[in-house]
Every structure is written in C-alpha cells, then in structure tokens.
C-alpha cells in the first residue's frame, strides 16, 4: 500500500506541476503581446511627439506605421479571451472541488453546465464566445419575470449554478473589454489624419544680422554748412544738400532693394526697416528704428481759404514758421512741406506740415469742411503730422511681425534728426504728393485721407534712411521646418492605452487567482480536468483504470508505473510519449483489464 500511496502522490504532483506550467503559459500569452505592443506604441509617441494640445497629439511619424503596434494588439485581443477563460476555469474547478467535498464526493454539475464550461475553457476563442453567448441567454423563469426578454434571439437555456452564473458574468465583462479595445483601436485608426506641422528649433547663438542700426558717426552732434545744421542723413554740397548713401535709399523707396524693405505694423502703427523678403523658415527677434506718424487736418483751424486777391492762390491764417512754412500757395505750385521742431525742445517728436493742391478729381472731399474747393475742380488740403521716432525690438514668426512682441522706446535726438532732415529738405516731395493725390481719390473724408498719409509719411521717412543703416546681429533665432505629422485625438489615445493596461492587469489578476486556488486546494486541478472535452468524452475512463488496478492484489511499483502510463495515454495530454512503453508492458504482460483497455 505504500507503493499505492507513493504512486498517487506522484500523479498528484505531476498534475499540479502541469497546472502551474499551463497557468504561467496562459498568463504569458495573454499579457506579453499586449505589453510589448502598447509599450512600443507609447515609446513611438514619446520619442516622436512634436506638439500636444488639449484635444490632439501630433506625432512625427507616418500614421499607418505608428498604429501598427496597437493594431497588432487589437488582433491578439480576441485570442486573449480564450486564454483568460482557461485561467478562469481554475475557479470553476475550485468551486467544483468544494461542491464535491460538501456533497460527500458527488458532483453537482449538470450536463449543460459541464458542456458550457468545457466549451468556455477548452475551446477556441470563437467557440468560447458562442458558448458564452449561450450562457448569457435568459432562462425560462427570467423570461416570465421580464416580458421584454421574450424578444431575445434564440430559445431559453436551463438554470445555471450560482458559481457558473458569476463566472459567465465576469467572462462577459472580459469579452466585452477585449472587443471594446479592438473597436477603440479601429476608431483611432479612422480618426487619425496626416497634416503639415512646423517644428521650431531655437538657435543657441544667432547667426543672421537682420537688425538695423545707425553707425556711431550718426550719433554725433549735428554738423553745420552755410549756417545750417545737418545730420548724417544728408551731406552738404555747394549751395545745398544731397541724400547720404542715396542709391540704397532710392531703391528701398521704390521697393527695388535686395537688402532692405519697409514693414508697417498696423496694430501699433509703426513703420520699420527690415531685411528684404523675410524667410519663413527662420523666426527671429531683432532691433531696428521705427517711425510712427499721426496726421490731422488743419483746414478749418487755420482758416484755409481762397485768396481774396487771386482765385488761383490759397492762403491760411496759421503762423508760417509754425505751420507749412508759407502763408500762401499758388495752384500751379501744388506742394509745400515744413518740419517744425519746438524751440528749446527735443526733436522727438517733431511736426511735419503738408500743404497741397490736388487737381480735378472724382472725389467726395470737396464737400468736407476741412477742404477748400478751387476753380477747375481742384482742392486744397492742409495737414499737420506728428512724427515719433522709436527704437524698436520686433519679432518675426513665419514671415509676419508679431504685434504682441513689438517693444518700443523713444529714440534719442540724433536718430530723430536723421529722420527729419530728408523731410525738411523735401527729398520725399514727389512721392508724398503722388500719394496725396491717390488718397484724395480713394478717401471719403479728410479723416480717411489723414490716416492714409500717416502711413505713407512713416514709410517714406524710414525708407529714405535705408542707405545709412548697418546690419545688426539678431537677438534670437529659431529654425522653422514644415513636416508631415500624424494627428491623433488625445482623449482616444489615452483611453485606448488605459484599456490596454487594464487588460494586461486583468489577465494578471486571473493568473494570481488561478495560482492561489491551486495552492489552496490542489484538488482544483483534478476537478478542472473532469470538465475538459476529453474527460467528458472518455467518461469515467480514468476512474475505471484506477479501480481495476486497485483490484489487483499487492500491486507492484511497476504496475503503478503502468497505471501512470495508461492514464497519460488515455488522457491524451502532455507527456504521453514518455509513458508509451508502460502502455505496451501493461498490455503485453497480460495486466488486469487488458482486454478492456488495450
């Protein structure tokens, strides 16, 4: 009998070891694909993410390649249902073991419960889902209690035990969560799109010189020629002055320069000098000089009117040295301009008066009280413009000045004189007069005309200085590069990843439960094996072999080895090859019951 006990214990230990091995295998097959694919996906997101907002995450990766790990996980998910169901079978085995113990060795599992259980835990995933569907169908009693269940497809099923009802409920949640994961991945793939995104990379040391600065020689005290002071903006010649470095200035005025251009920031109403053709591939911050002009009509205040002595002359009542410089203007003279600096004050700001006669035009201005209508349909306009000169720090992003980053401070006297001199010497007279004529045609009132002239005076004043400026190194630089990125809905990405992690934890929980149940009650393995399809087909095959071998008096150790071999061969399970010799020995040596089992 010691050999009998030893053989039983060895068989029992083999079953437990086999169960542990299978539990670990099922857990590994359930968790490893999910963990590997989700970690790969997260790694791709982390290493290639270029921008994240509250709604989307932009990833520098092709959408079709980025989602491959999740798509693989979605394909594996249905197979994981079968693995987790098999892990859950150890709970059913444990409950069956407890039930058998309480009922003195009798099983309380009905035929239908056994069939459902065997399909749930030992079939393919699709068969398991079909069995799960059958287990979840309502019973006749539930249909009677709830009228709407009568419309449930298919006939009712018989009652299930409490433990199997609880088990199928858990498995329903498992199946739904895995199918939901596959659906979320499919939805994520459908909502992911490719778009163009610009990556901005700051440059540690700025390399470009897009700023503009006046040379140190321009910051000295004004010179004097023929009793007149002058700045570096002009240079003296016999009998007058000419524009300093006029070639580049004239090119800039006519927008023909390859080095400079005038930009106007409409929100702050400042014209500034910048490099030609701002490169959208480079964002930068630089310093330059800016001019802001505010013009207003003075026709009514200065009593602008036709001369009483001649209908071809226009006069006003403001002091000439404090206004346009002249007190009368002939129609054929067309233009007068004058720069006024407050005596004893600073030249920043200064006033620039514009007085012009515009020939016959199709305009609404003659009806304006600030405008004087002359013979032949001509009109006369008198404007007073306040000019401010600023030191400007501006930022360009994607080829556009950012108003919110435009910083200004009043410039010193020297730059203000440099801006004022070309205007005082009427170098811009022709351009300003043509713009005045255009403004008179396009404006509906003098307020619109004054606004248009404010912009143009600022642009002309800074353009005529282009030849005097020197390049200045940028304050900041950032390289801009347009790339194709995948745009993923952030919320959906987080939900999908979270659900994948939950599925992995879910499988781990079932793994720990199965291990714990086997350790708590090793008979769990035996009861679980009774529910397999093979055991149900073979019936009590294993029990009959045991009974037949025990009927032999004085069984030897070899006979128990033969028993193990027969059991393994009859079970068709793992390790049958190592026992095939025992099967042959039992049959060939005429062991008890050989006619029934060989």
Q: Is residue 200 part of a domain?
A: no
Sequence-distant (≥ 6) Cβ neighbours of residue 255 within 8 angstroms: 261
* DSSP designation for 157: B
For position 7, what pLDDT does the model report? 53
**Which of 502, 519, 539 is at the close of a domain?**
539
Distance CA 220, CA 231 (A): 9
From residue 395, alpha-carbon distances to 244, 282, 340 in Å are 29, 11, 33
Same domain, 457 and 549: no
Q: Is residue 316 part of a domain?
A: yes
Q: To which H or E segment does residue 187 belong?
A: helix 162-191
* DSSP designation for 139: B
* DSSP designation for 138: P
For position 575, what pLDDT does the model report? 34
Same domain, 129 and 190: yes
Choose among 564, 368, 576, 334: nearest CA to 436: 334
**Which of 497, 519, 539 is at the close of a domain?**
539
Distance CA 534, CA 243 (A): 106
Q: To which H or E segment does residue 395 belong?
A: strand 379-397
Distance CA 314, CA 331 (A): 7
Choose among 459, 472, 458: nearest CA to 284: 472
* DSSP designation for 593: T
Residue 516 backbone dihedrals phi, psi, to 5 degrees: -65, -40
Q: Is residue 516 part of a domain?
A: yes
* Number of independent structural domains in the chain: 3
Burial class (CB in 10 A: 0-12, 13-18, 19+), 30: buried
Same domain, 220 and 277: yes
Same domain, 337 and 398: yes
Same domain, 174 and 314: no
| Partner residues linked to 219 by β-bridges | none
Q: Is residue 305 part of a domain?
A: yes
Torsion from C-alpha of 74, 76, 80, 81, nearest 10 degrees: 60
Contact between 92 and 128 (Cβ < 8 Å): no
Same domain, 466 and 342: yes
Does residue 28 sit in helix, strand or coil?
A: helix
Choose among 342, 325, 343, 502: nearest CA to 425: 325
For the entire predicted model, the pTM comes to: 0.58
Same domain, 190 and 307: no
For position 533, what pLDDT does the model report? 58
Same domain, 422 and 532: no
Same domain, 520 and 455: no
Q: Is residue 37 part of a domain?
A: yes
Same domain, 466 and 584: no
Same domain, 99 and 220: no
Same domain, 549 and 531: no
Distance CA 331, CA 223 (A): 36
**Which of 519, 539, 559 is at the close of a domain?**
539
Distance CA 170, CA 95 (A): 15
Domain that includes residue 518, residue range: 7-195+484-539
Q: Is residue 54 part of a domain?
A: yes
pLDDT tens series, the chain, 598 aa: 444 455 556 666 788 888 899 999 999 988 998 899 999 999 988 888 888 888 899 888 777 788 888 888 888 887 888 888 888 888 888 888 887 777 776 666 666 677 777 777 766 667 767 777 777 778 777 777 777 777 777 777 777 776 677 777 788 888 888 889 989 999 998 888 888 888 888 888 888 888 898 888 887 767 776 667 778 878 777 777 878 888 888 898 888 888 889 999 888 899 998 888 777 778 889 999 999 999 999 989 999 888 877 777 888 888 887 887 788 888 777 788 888 887 667 788 999 999 988 886 677 777 788 888 887 778 889 999 999 999 999 998 887 888 888 999 999 888 998 898 888 888 888 888 889 988 888 888 889 999 999 999 999 999 988 888 889 999 899 888 888 888 899 999 999 999 999 999 999 999 999 999 999 988 888 888 877 755 655 554 444 554 454 444 444 444 444 444 444 444 433 333 333 334 444 444 444 444 444 4
Q: How open is the CA angle 180-185-190, to the nearest 5 degrees?
A: 120
How is residue 55 written in tokens?
């709604």
Torsion region of 442: left, alpha or beta (phi above 0 gives left; psi -120 to 50 gives alpha):
alpha
Q: Is residue 202 part of a domain?
A: no
Contact between 7 and 549 (Cβ < 8 Å): no
Q: Is residue 201 part of a domain?
A: no
């Amino acid at each position: 009998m010691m050999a009998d006990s030893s053989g039983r214990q060895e068989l029992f230990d083999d079953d437990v070891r086999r169960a542990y091995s299978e539990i670990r295998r099922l857990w590994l097959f359930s968790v490893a694909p999910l963990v590997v694919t989700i970690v790969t996906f997260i790694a791709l997101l982390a290493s290639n993410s270029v921008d994240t907002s509250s709604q989307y995450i932009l990833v520098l990766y092709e959408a079709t390649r980025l989602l491959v790990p999740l798509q693989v996980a979605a394909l594996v998910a249905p197979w994981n249902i079968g693995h987790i169901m098999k892990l859950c079978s150890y709970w059913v085995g444990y409950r069956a073991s407890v039930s058998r113990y309480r009922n003195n060795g009798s099983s309380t599992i009905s035929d239908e419960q056994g069939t459902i259980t065997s399909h749930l835990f030992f079939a393919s995933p699709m068969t398991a889902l079909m069995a799960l569907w059958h287990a979840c169908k309502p019973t006749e009693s539930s249909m009677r209690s709830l009228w709407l269940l009568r419309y449930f497809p298919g006939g009712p099923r018989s009652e299930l035990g409490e433990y199997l009802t609880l088990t199928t409920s858990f498995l329903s949640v498992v199946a739904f969560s895995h199918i939901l994961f596959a659906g979320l991945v499919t939805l994520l793939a459908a909502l992911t799109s490719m778009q163009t995104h610009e990556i901005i990379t700051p440059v540690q040391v700025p390399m470009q010189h897009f700023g503009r600065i006046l040379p140190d020689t321009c910051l000295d005290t004004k010179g004097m020629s023929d009793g007149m002071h002058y700045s570096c903006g002009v240079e003296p010649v016999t009998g007058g002055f000419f524009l300093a470095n006029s070639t580049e200035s004239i090119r800039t005025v006519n927008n023909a320069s390859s080095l400079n251009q005038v930009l106007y920031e409409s929100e702050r109403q400042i014209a500034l000098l910048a490099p030609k053709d701002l490169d959208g591939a480079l964002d930068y911050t630089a310093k330059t000089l800016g001019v802001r002009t505010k013009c207003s009509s003075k026709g009514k205040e200065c009593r602008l009117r036709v001369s009483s002595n001649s209908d071809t002359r226009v006069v006003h009542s403001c002091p000439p040295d404090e206004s346009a410089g002249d007190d009368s203007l002939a129609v054929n003279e067309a233009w007068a301009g004058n720069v006024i600096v407050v005596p004893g004050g600073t030249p920043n700001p200064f006033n620039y008066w514009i007085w012009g006669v515009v020939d016959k035009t199709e305009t609404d201005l003659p009806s304006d009280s600030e405008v004087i209508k002359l013979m032949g349909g001509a009109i006369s306009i008198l404007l007073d413009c306040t000019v401010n000169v600023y030191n400007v720090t501006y930022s360009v992003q994607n080829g556009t000045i950012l108003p919110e980053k435009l910083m200004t401070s009043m410039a010193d006297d020297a730059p203000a004189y440099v801006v004022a001199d070309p205007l005082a010497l009427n170098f811009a007279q022709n351009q300003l007069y043509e713009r005045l004529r255009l403004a008179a045609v396009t404006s509906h009132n003098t307020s619109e005309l004054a606004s248009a002239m404010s912009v143009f005076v600022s642009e002309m004043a800074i353009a005529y200085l282009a030849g005097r400026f020197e390049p200045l190194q940028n304050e900041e630089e950032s390289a801009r590069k347009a790339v194709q990125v995948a745009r993923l809905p952030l919320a959906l990405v987080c939900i999908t990843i979270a659900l994948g992690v939950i599925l992995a934890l879910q499988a781990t929980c079932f793994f720990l439960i199965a291990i714990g149940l086997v350790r708590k009650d090793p008979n769990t393995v035996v009861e679980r094996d009774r529910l397999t399809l093979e055991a149900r087909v073979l019936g009590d095959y294993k029990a009959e072999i045991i009974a037949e071998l025990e009927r032999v008096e004085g069984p030897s150790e070899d006979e128990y080895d033969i028993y193990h071999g027969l059991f393994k061969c009859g079970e068709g399970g793992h390790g049958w090859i190592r026992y095939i010799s025992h099967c042959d020995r039992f049959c060939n040596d005429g062991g008890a019951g050989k006619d029934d089992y060989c």
